Chain A
Amino acid sequence: MKTNNIFITATAIASLFVSCKKDEKLDPVNPVPINQQELITTVKLVFTDSANTAMVSSFNFSDPDGEGGNGPVEFDTILLNANKTYWVSILLLDESKTPIDTISNEVLEEANDHQFFFHHTGVNVNTTYMDMDSNNPPLPIGLQTKWKSSSAGSGTSQVILKHQPGTKTGSEANGETDVDLLFTTIVQ
Chain B
Amino acid sequence: MLKKNAFPYSTPRITSLVLGFFLYIFFMKGQNCDVRFSGKILDLDDNEPLAYATLVILETEIVSTTDSMGIFSFENLCPGKYTLSIRHLDCTDTLIPIGLTISKSQTFRLPHSAVLLKDLDVYAESKQVKATQASEVISGQQLQQAQGGNLADVTNRVNGLTSRNTGSTISKPVIHGLDGYRILILNNGIRLEGQQWGNEHAPEIDPYLAKKITVIKGAAGVRYGGDALAGAILVEPEDLPDSSSITGELNFSGNTNGKGGAGNAILQGGIKKIPGLAWRVQGTFRKQGNIRTPDYYLSTTALEEKNFSYTVGYHQKRWGTEVFYSQFNTRIGIFSGSHIGNLTDLNYAFQNSIQYDTAKFSYAISRPFQDVSHELVKGNLHFHTGKRSRVNFNYGYQFNQRKEFDKDKALNDSIAQLNLPDLDYRIETQFGEIIWDHDNIRSFRGMLGMSFLHQENVYRGRYFIPNFINNTFGFFAIERWIRKKIEAEAALRYDKKNLSAYLWENDSVIRPTFLFEGLSYNTGVIVKLDSNHRLLFNSGYAWRSPAVNELFSNGLHHGAASIEKGDRDLRPERGFNSILTYQLSNKKITGEINVYSHFLKNFIYQEPGSSPQLSIKGAFPVFFYRQCNALINGTNISLRYPVNDFWELSLKGMYLRGDNLSNKEALIYMPANRVSGTLQYHLRNKKNHKNSFICLETNYALKQNRVPKGIDYKPAPADYLLFGISVGSQLKFGKETISIYATVHNLLNTRYRDYLDRFRYFCDAPGRNFSVRMHVPINDKKNQINNHENK
Contacts and interface: CB of A to CB of B under 8 A. Distances in A.
Select the residue from B245, B357, B426, B618 with max chain A CB neighbours within 10 A. Answer: B618
Contacts of A175: 341, 356
Nearest to B339: A176
Contacts of B306: 17
B463 A37 contact: no
A32 B310 contact: no
B462 A35 contact: yes
A36 B420 contact: yes
B20 A63 contact: no
B271 A103 contact: no
Contacts of A35: 461-463
B459 interface: yes
Interface stretch (B254-262, B409-417, B598-606): B409-417
Contact of B614 (A7, A30, A75): A75
A167 interface: yes
B310 A28 contact: no
A31 B418 CA distance: 21
Nearest to A31: B467
B267 A10 contact: yes
A26 B422 CA distance: 16
A101 interface: yes
Interface string A44-67: 000000000000000001010011
B459 A32 contact: yes
Contact of A68 (B267, B273, B401, B563): B563
B422 A37 contact: yes
Interface string B413-439: 101001010100010000000000000
Contacts of B460: 26, 32, 36
A68 B340 contact: no
Given A35-B463, A69-B554, A103 B412 contact: yes
Contacts of A101: 412
Interface residues of A, number: 59
Given A40-B616, A66-B616, A176 B461 contact: no
Contacts of B245: 3
B614 A36 contact: no
B637 interface: no
Interface stretch (B89-97, B342-350, B735-743, B768-776): B342-350
A110 interface: yes
Contacts of A30: 502, 509
B597 interface: no
Contact of B411 (A32, A43, A110): A110
B199 to A, nearest CB: 17
Given A3-B783, A13-B20, A36-B461, A178 B341 contact: yes
B308 A4 contact: no
Interface in A16-34: 16-18, 20, 22, 26-33
Contact of A67 (B267, B308, B466, B563): B563
A51 to B, nearest CB: 32
B586 interface: no
B651 interface: no
Given A3-B271, A26-B426, A176 B616 contact: no
Contacts of B272: 3-4
A115 to B, nearest CB: 13
Contacts of A36: 415, 418, 420, 460-461
A66 B466 CA distance: 17
B458 A179 contact: no
Given A30-B502, A67-B615, A3 B269 contact: yes
B158 to A, nearest CB: 31
Nearest to A33: B504
Interface secondary structure of A, over-half rule: loop
B413 A106 contact: yes
Interface in A144-185: 163, 165, 167, 173-182
B271 A71 contact: no
A14 B415 contact: no
Contacts of A67: 555-556, 563, 615-617, 620
Contact of A7 (B271, B308, B459, B503): B271
A10 B281 contact: yes
A61 B198 CA distance: 31
Point out which of B283, B460, B555 has the most chain A C-beta atoms below 10 A from its C-beta. Answer: B460
Contacts of B399: 20, 22
B617 A177 contact: yes
Nearest to B511: A29
B408 A165 contact: yes
B690 interface: no
A107 B408 CA distance: 13
B681 interface: no
A14 B339 contact: no
Given A163-B408, A173-B348, A181 B616 contact: yes
B468 A68 contact: no
B300 interface: no
A174 B344 CA distance: 11
B179 interface: no
B13 interface: yes
A61 B616 CA distance: 8
B16 interface: yes
A176 B283 contact: no
A82 B699 CA distance: 66
A26 B614 CA distance: 32
B697 interface: no
B636 interface: no
A40 B466 CA distance: 22
B62 interface: no
Interface in B444-473: 456-463, 466-469
Contacts of B281: 10-11, 13-14
A40 B412 CA distance: 11
Contacts of A75: 614
A35 B463 CA distance: 8
Contacts of B16: 13
B327 A103 contact: no
Nearest to B506: A70
Given A4-B271, A7-B279, A110-B411, A41 B616 contact: yes
A180 B503 contact: no
B244 A17 contact: no
Contact of A28 (B352, B411, B468): B468
A9 to B, nearest CB: 7
A20 B327 contact: yes
B514 interface: no
A43 B348 contact: no
A109 B411 CA distance: 9
Contacts of A29: 467, 469, 502
B182 interface: no
Nearest to A65: B463
B25 interface: no
Given A14-B310, A175-B341, 10 more contacts: A4-B271, A13-B20, A13-B281, A31-B458, A31-B504, A37-B410, A37-B415, A72-B614, A165-B408, A177-B344
27 contacts: A3-B783, A4-B273, A13-B16, A13-B20, A17-B283, A26-B467, A28-B467, A28-B502, A31-B459, A31-B467, A32-B460, A35-B461, A36-B418, A36-B460, A37-B410, A37-B415, A37-B422, A63-B616, A67-B617, A68-B613, A71-B614, A75-B614, A163-B408, A173-B348, A173-B356, A175-B341, A181-B616
Interface of B: 13, 16-17, 20, 24, 244-246, 267, 269-273, 279, 281, 283, 306, 308, 310, 327, 339-342, 344-345, 348, 352, 356-357, 373, 375, 399, 401, 407-408, 410-413, 415, 418, 420, 422, 426, 456-463, 466-469, 502-504, 509, 554-556, 563, 613-618, 620, 783
